[in-house]
Amino acid sequence: MALASAKTTRIFHANAACLHAVQTPSGYSSGRCLLLGCADAEFGPGLVDAEDKTRSFDLCFLEQRCQAKVKSSTFLQLSLRFSRNGTRSPSRGSREERNNHPILSVFELERLLYTGKTACNHADEVWPGLYLGDQDIAANRRELAHLRITHVLNASHSKWRGGAEYYEGTGIRYLGIEAHDSPSFDMSPYFYPAADFIHQALNEGRILVHCAVGVSRSATLVLAYLMIRHHMPLVEAIKTVKDHRGIIPNRGFLRQLVALDNALRLKRSA
């Protein structure tokens, strides 16, 4: 995924329901651009120009138009069905609430992901002690110390970029997963190892789970953790994270999470 400030070009692919390339002007949240772009691709052209070189990317204006578009569509029923009221602190829901969540198709999950919180900071606490963020926060050791991060899980690990050696002398434990943000990439073999690492980290301190932007690869692993370790259905896991950070796992990752959701439901009912 390319992010650059030299030229403002946005390419959205509605059929894939995900952004294949985004190039945004400097100073704006790539996560918000990503989410608004996907919303435009889903709800039709006109919300965001395919190529806009003449005016600055006014996120507030776009968000207002996006919300108006959603409210005027039949998608409002799905939004009301699964949205939560207000922004809550990360908390653990009751088992009774979890049992009320239905199984959704990938298409319905994509629509659910377009509702609610769209803004992203460099890192957001989406569960007590668990921060979901981007590469910028992962490279800022001072800020990691301020957040009292003791573990880092990097879902965009690469031998060409700093890994465990970058955190030498900080006491931070590191796990790198070389995942690609592609619908064809199989993330499922990493669900349980990542969930175990996150669980151990939360027993010992705090963890940052990140990738490049913090909305797809890392978000997928956080959702899997909530499903595996806290027995959440996928819908509840998505709602829990989206109360605090906008996320958009790609369609392939959503299919894998649906498969995990089905497997966990069968295991619990056995």
Give the active site residues: 211
- Give the pairing of strands 18-23 and 130-133: unpaired
Q: Cβ-count burial of 185 within 10 angstroms (0-12 exposed, 13-18 middle, 19+ buried)? A: middle
Dihedral sign computed on CA atoms, order 187, 123, 121, 80: positive
